[in-house]
Copies of this chain bind each other. A is one copy, B any other.
Amino acid sequence: MRITAIHETAAPIKSTIANAYIDFSKMTCSLVAVVTDVVRDGEPVVGFGFSSNGRYAAGAIMRERMIPRLLEAPADSLLDPTSGLLDPFRCWDAMMTNEKPGGHGERSVAVGTIDMAIWDALAKIEGVPLWRLLADRYRDGRADPDVWVYAAGGYYQPDKGIPGLVEEVKSYQGMGYVDFKLKIGGATLAQDLDRIEAVIGVAGQASHVAVDANGRFDLETAVAYAKAFEPYGLLWYEEAGDPLDYALQAALAEHYAPPMATGENLFSTIDATNLIRYAGLRPDRDWLQFDCALSYGLCEYIRTLEMLEQHGWSTRRVVPHGGHQMSLNIAAGLHLGGNESYPGIFQPFGGFADGIRIENGRVALPEVPGIGIETKAGLYALCQELAAG
């Protein structure tokens, strides 16, 4: 078999929301279609991939570097010699030819998006959901039947006060979510405490409420926030400082006993390794949030999970950023701790199968080949348009 074409485009993933660092009004997202010469149901199998929110589309890097390398590689060099099907790891190596080590940003989005489409194509060719393919390959065939998800929201929006925040969280509750996350650091500490308490009021208890500073704080501010909300016993305290400031994270751990979380802005296995080595994170309570779509894809994610296990971390401590179907497949198939969800925003990329409801804070996965993009009508329509060329 061979890859006959790779299409990519950038689509807006814009929103009126803002976190403590950026607003999302100009945010874009990459969409990729990998077309193969394998026919299923009378049509060539096409794998789809898309990047995640928070980083911009990376189409130029794909067009100039990764796509030509895949299309110019001898077809056999991209295949598993046993199965004769695409080997995502060989494809990954081809994409990274003539790339120097280090500098893990943007390029990691380009590779991650194409990698997703390759895994989608492979699972479709094998005729199985990706979560099952992963469980069969790496977890003795045992996939989780459903995945814990939490509703990430509570962004700062113009003219949205506490009542608006309460309404938002109640709406997530109505959808079946039990756990919620809100942004902090875009207002004063006192205002943020009011927001946190309002969300706890809806959620019922603080252990259902996480907070996210989006890397905004210096150590002094991070510790001031920590001391202010340590008594609550929150679900977690996310990305207090710069995502690469491991020393800040380690210092914060000395001031804050409840769970911390970070990792969404680390885009490679070696960056994740440094986090584990230096950031003082605690394998018995803290959370890791690497997002495969932004960080070289599932091939690299598998390497990161192996690294974690070598360092004594359970894969159950990993709850990926991004709220998308790819991470949901990885969570179910590779036994992660859960997955983020952004109900109603970052559409049509965010969210899960249209027909599957959240129940008691958990979501099941569809029984369709691949990632399940075909079960999400808005996203599938974009994908079909792209695949048509």
**Interface on chain A toward B: helix, strand, loop, or mixed SS?**
loop
- Is A26 within 8 A of B98, CB to CB? yes
Residue A108 CB within 8 A of the other chain: yes
Selected from B59, B101, B277, B294, the residue in CB contact (under 8 A) with A265 is: B101
Contacts of A266 in B (CB 8 A): 102
Q: A100 and B267: CB pair below 8 A?
A: no
A100 touches B55 (CB 8 A): yes
Task: Knowing A105-B107, A106-B106 are in contact, say whether A100-B274 is a contact too (CB < 8 A).
Answer: no
A210 to chain B, nearest CB (A): 19
B22–A98 touching, CB < 8 Å: yes
Residues of the B chain whose Cβ atoms lie less than 8 Å from the Cβ of A28: 64
Q: Does A374 contact B (CB under 8 A)?
A: no
- How many Å from the CB of A224 to the closest CB on chain B? 20
Complex CA gap A266/B104 in Å reads 10
Q: Choose from B97, B100, B242, B273 the contact partner of A101 (Cβ within 8 Å).
A: B242
Asked if A168 is an interface residue, CB under 8 A from chain B, the answer is no
Residue of B nearest to A18 (CB): B98
One of A193-201, A244-252, A327-335, A344-352 contacting the partner: A244-252
Give complex CA distance A7, B265 in Å.
31
| Interchain CB contact under 8 A, B103 and A55 | yes
Q: Is the CB of B21 within 8 A of A100?
A: yes
Q: CA of A97 to CA of B24 in the docked complex: distance in angstroms?
A: 11
Please state if B98 and A277 are interface contacts (CB–CB under 8 Å).
no
Asked, given contacts A60-B59, A60-B60, whether A102 binds B274 with beta carbons under 8 Å apart, the answer is no
Give the residues in chain B near A55, CB-CB below 8 Å: 100, 103
In the bound complex, what is the Cα–Cα distance between A54 and B268 (angstroms)? Answer: 19
With both chains docked as a complex, state the minimum distance between the C-beta of A145 and any C-beta of chain B, in angstroms. 34
Interface residue? A23 (CB, 8 A): yes
A284 at the A/B interface (Cβ < 8 Å)?
Answer: no
Cβ–Cβ contact B101 & A21, under 8 A: yes
Flag whether A41 is at the interface (Cβ < 8 A): no
State the 10 A-B residue pairs at the shortest beta-carbon distance, nearest first. A103-B105, A60-B60, A102-B265, A106-B106, A102-B243, A105-B105, A244-B270, A101-B215, A22-B98, A101-B242
29 contacts between A and B (CB under 8 A): A21-B100, A22-B98, A26-B98, A28-B64, A54-B100, A56-B61, A59-B60, A61-B106, A100-B215, A101-B215, A101-B242, A101-B244, A102-B242, A102-B243, A102-B266, A103-B105, A103-B294, A104-B104, A105-B107, A106-B107, A244-B270, A244-B271, A244-B274, A245-B270, A247-B277, A274-B274, A274-B278, A277-B278, A278-B278
Q: Which residues of A contact B (CB under 8 A)?
A: 21-23, 26, 28, 54-57, 59-61, 64-65, 97-108, 214-215, 242-247, 265-268, 270-271, 273-274, 277-278, 294
